Structure 1
């Protein structure tokens, strides 16, 4: 995160947004350059009917390319895959995607400084700066006019798209799956199926049990396929430290759901605490330090690149992970392709103590904060909102999730979609499958239904239905499922209905104030280096390293940050509870 400008929306910017919604204005466009469909005159046919609908359809399909900045993009999208081509066929729209290069996190700041914006943008946690600069238009009236599919997709949670109680504009369409049901999870910690099998599929539920299984297997198997066995490893040389070093501590030590670097006590008036100052955190990092000193934790955890991390996992010699499944998915694809499904990982409900309740399946509601916005430079906001609305339609949702009918999926006698085994195998084992097929490229960060949501045919919008997940289990997963006597591997976890859905968005995706972000950025800087120092501390020196980090947190204003975030969450709870 960066230090953001103060939120100032001037009267001029508000006037521009109004003009934008009426005429599709842009920073350097004349009225004649803007394509809108409503201004077209109608003409009558011989029988007295009008041709306006046909004219509008032609205008809607007029070729147009929107520039799009994707803060989570990692490679160029040439927009030539079958799904992209079908999107263009149905809408006339092509997307020219730009993305950060070599980890550059200053792109949005440069856009604001130069006032040069793409048509569409996914800015992640930089969106607050864009809004402060007046760079995003309020989509509310455009959605009212042209967005029935948008409203239908978000349903009862549509009001949560509004920015704040003080500024209830809709600047973004949330990028998270709406109505998500979790049929899979990486849990709080992961362990190879081979290790579980060697332990008669006993489910480790505490760190002590998890540690013992890893150590016993290492002792019995000092090498795997000719390479030294590694107990577990982390990725900490870049932003992945948040995912592998920081996040697991909240899940395991505090049985907390994902609120980024914060723990929120819903029962105590939403009191927020910077995670690495909370009770239980010291004990978790003491455990990591002991694992490091004993050679169970990979000695290269702090310096290896993320590519090194994935390559190491891909060999099959890393027994455990403390990570999110999306972060090591590429490695598992390689392992399955090599016929090593037993070297892939089971997500487990591991906590510090047996009486804690792992919150891996907790439904946290609509994770607003990150999403797609239309900038004031957009060449045609009306066309843009119509494109976004089409993406929210059933037709588009099936296309981006399932691919091309009679190629990637088929319809059975009951009218339900299904994939053939060959297609499933390719999706699981070919690292380039999504780029060849287009499936899985165009669903994030665009608006999308979550797993488990069904359409009018009774089929799920995504390929991850309960039945599909079960039928697609690998041999290793099937063995574990049978040994555990469950339908889904996630049945070993506390279920979603055992938790209340919070009335605020997960903190890591919220748009927060400049003042708070300044504190949070400094705290994270301290934590990144400080936690690594604690884990790598020599024997007898852990307490000194930990105490220094805590003092640094205090000096950086952690108490002030806790109070600010608590107030912001309380305000969002009040806003959402009011029905917007």
Structure 2
């Protein structure tokens, strides 16, 4: 199942707050949907937070940071002072499905859970309490999520979790690349004279030539990410090469709005055959099919991997380390990765996300929670605009400044100090995603961008001389200018359309995952002479799925979303 966390990923917002670049997944609703509520319309929580302090357990189903008590961070301590609430955060170690299965079997849950791709398991087990009545008590939650409350309801009419972001204010574009891209080390482009690469063939030829010239460096030409639910980082690629954004398992025709899967198309065959060819030449890392996420990040950080496809929010942990190193030592800039928009024919890409609202991922309160109202009070307090500024910009005079026109900015010294260790200690890393919050592309009531790196003044200020040089070589001032502007898609993202528990659509996705995870390694690692044979076996196995029914259901949902948006 394709992911996005979006999201907007956790890591996506990291780059906004960090001195370096990066959920995933631009994953918010239309600019005006929730944008009419200024900070002045914020309301206090229904009652003063009790003076006594309490700690709740919080399981985060993404392995994106060390475990922590939120009050050990600067942001978390401020919020504890306001609410009396601390969260003991546990992050995923090992397999998500197994971890959640253990919770369900014991019927003993953390107070709060962000299950990510395991959300269906928990919903099916009845692990979350309904939030409908509680939401009514908390004005800031209603202010931010009000336009989407109906979309957040399950089939039984209950709301069991709160999505991670909601567009507030005007839609602010992202100058960085936090969504899909084909990444390559900057030194490769420098050595080749900064060529304009537009197709996959040009990209792989560039990598092949570079590795051949640097045989003594023990380089890996290309790796892919396949671990657990992150398998989409490999399986989504044909969709993007076809010129579509991350709609998950389908490509949606912009004229007929028909949804079609792509897993047995010529495009997927070409992508897997390209990986097979690279493998036969010793340019592909075979361990891509067995490495876990941490091993993948370690390899990207090693300076030995020349290129890869992934989403900015998902690869940011590695790329930020390289960026930090280059800031300390400019000679290390050669190893920083540069994003490239590729398609099969070099025509218009759609790698940047259009505005959207992801409603099948979020954070919920479990049936084991000791005091749901205290948790909701915390979330409501977090959604005050002053605290959204805190979790994104930080503290005035410490991590940002305000000029005489009211514009937020960061000094060179502040940008330099906000590295990955600072992100952890201050709490930017922990509050970048995984909580109820304003969408990343949101604008504050005073017109400032919510995300620091979406603020033009900050983006330009944080650029190093090396950044400016390579951007100038490609005739742009921001990384996103390299990519085509996203077309409006009222249904976006299609993967975020909820599916009923045990439905035919859900079963199709589960079976599809099983088939692709079984055959993709075989196809990529097969002898080139055996590829056609294995492809035939794969297509036969895939043919047992009711793909026509799945496409019909998706087409109906997409057309309904278009009608609802009129």
**TM-score bin, normalised by smaller chain:** 0.7 to 0.9
Give how far 1:460 is off: 1.8
Does residue 211 in structure 1 map to residue 211 in structure 2?
no
2:283 aligns to what? 296
2:351 to 344, 360, 372: 360
Q: Any idea what the Cα deviations from partners look like across 1:208-228, whole Å, max 9, x if unmatched?
A: 2212222332333334xxx22
Give how far 1:262 is off: 3.7
Distance 2:105 2:310 in 1: 36
Distance 1:389 1:576 in 2: 31
Do the aligned residues in 1 keep the contact of 2:180 with 2:309 (CA within 8 Å)? no
1:433 aligns to what? 422
Q: Any idea what the Cα deviations from partners look like across 1:415-449, whole Å, max 9, x if unmatched?
A: 3332232332233xx44222211112123111222
Match of 1:235, SS state, is coil
Does residue 316 in structure 1 map to residue 303 in structure 2?
yes
Match of 2:313, SS state, is helix
Distance 2:45 2:115 in 1: 36
Do the aligned residues in 2 keep the contact of 1:364 with 1:506 (CA within 8 Å)? no
- Residues 155 and 107 of structure 1: is their aligned pair in 2 closer, same or farther, counting only changes over 3 Å? same
Give how far 1:267 is off: 4.0
User: TM-score, normalised to structure 2's length?
Assistant: 0.82
- Residues 92 and 264 of structure 1: is their aligned pair in 2 closer, same or farther, counting only changes over 3 Å? same
User: TM-score, normalised to structure 1's length?
Assistant: 0.80
Residue correspondence of structure 1 range 346-495 to structure 2 within 5 A: 346-355=338-347, 357-427=348-418, 430-467=419-456, 468-495=458-485
Distance 2:268 2:188 in 1: 27
Give how far 1:160 is off: 2.7
Give how far 1:568 is off: 5.2
Do the aligned residues in 1 keep the contact of 2:247 with 2:492 (CA within 8 Å)? no
Distance 1:380 1:306 in 2: 34
- Residues 535 and 55 of structure 1: is their aligned pair in 2 closer, same or farther, counting only changes over 3 Å? closer
Residue correspondence of structure 1 range 214-233 to structure 2 within 5 A: 214-223=207-216, 227-233=217-223
Give how far 1:523 is off: 1.9
Give how far 1:348 is off: 1.0
Q: Any idea what the Cα deviations from partners look like across 1:39-67, whole Å, max 9, x if unmatched?
A: xxxxxxxxxxxxxx99942x444422222
Does residue 200 in structure 1 map to residue 193 in structure 2?
yes
Give how far 1:204 is off: 0.7
Does residue 503 in structure 1 map to residue 491 in structure 2?
yes
Do the aligned residues in 1 keep the contact of 2:194 with 2:474 (CA within 8 Å)? yes
Q: Which has the higher contact order (CA 8 A, sep 6+)?
A: 2
Give how far 1:573 is off: 5.1
Give how far 1:507 is off: 0.9
Do the aligned residues in 2 keep the contact of 1:193 with 1:477 (CA within 8 Å)? no
Match of 1:189, SS state, is strand
Distance 1:568 1:214 in 2: 38
Give how far 1:366 is off: 0.7
Match of 2:183, SS state, is strand
Distance 2:267 2:122 in 1: 38
Distance 1:55 1:287 in 2: 58
1:119 aligns to what? 111
Structure 2 unpaired stretches of 5+: 2-43
Structure 1 unpaired stretches of 5+: 2-52
Distance 1:124 1:238 in 2: 12
Match of 1:95, SS state, is strand
1:9 aligns to what? none
1:248 to 202, 222, 237: 237
Do the aligned residues in 1 keep the contact of 2:221 with 2:307 (CA within 8 Å)? yes
Give how far 1:565 is off: 5.5
Residue correspondence of structure 1 range 330-345 to structure 2 within 5 A: 330-336=317-323, 337=325, 339=329, 340-345=332-337
2:143 aligns to what? 152
Do the aligned residues in 1 keep the contact of 2:172 with 2:443 (CA within 8 Å)? no
- Residues 570 and 152 of structure 1: is their aligned pair in 2 closer, same or farther, counting only changes over 3 Å? same
Structure number, greater radius of gyration: 1
Distance 2:302 2:357 in 1: 37
Q: Any idea what the Cα deviations from partners look like across 1:500-555, whole Å, max 9, x if unmatched?
A: 22325431674443233333222212212311111111131110111111111123
- Residues 209 and 144 of structure 1: is their aligned pair in 2 closer, same or farther, counting only changes over 3 Å? same
Match of 2:79, SS state, is helix
Give how far 1:470 is off: 2.8
